[in-house]
Amino acid sequence: MVAEQRIKEKLWIALEPTRLDVINESEKHAGHRSSPGTGESHFRILIVSPKFAGLSRVARHRMVNEALADELRGGIHALALATYAPGEEVRG
């Protein structure tokens, strides 16, 4: 829960999203050989931000990765990302 809150705060500040879903999926991967078993290792993020408008997928993901650089260096093992600009069709 702590990591989830920190992720949300950092993304709110960096990307000013109009929608932000952060789902902790660590439980689903708990049995993984490489899973650290911290309960805060696997996250799925859906983010809609005006800052993504006109940018490629790679550029959008880089913005998220940069905002979460500390977390990615530390405990986060996997990040599934879906990035949209307002007005783009959101899947899932």
Which residues are at the interface with another protein (CB under 8 A)? Answer: 32-34, 57-58, 61-62, 65, 69, 72-73, 78-82
Give the shortest CB-57-to-another protein separation in angstroms: 5
Which CB atom, from 16 or from 70, has the smaller least distance to another protein?
A: 70
Residue with tokens 């093992």: 77
User: Rounded CA gap, 16 and 85, in Å?
Assistant: 11
Strands (E), 2-92: 19-24, 42-48, 78-84
Give the shortest CB-76-to-another protein separation in angstroms: 9
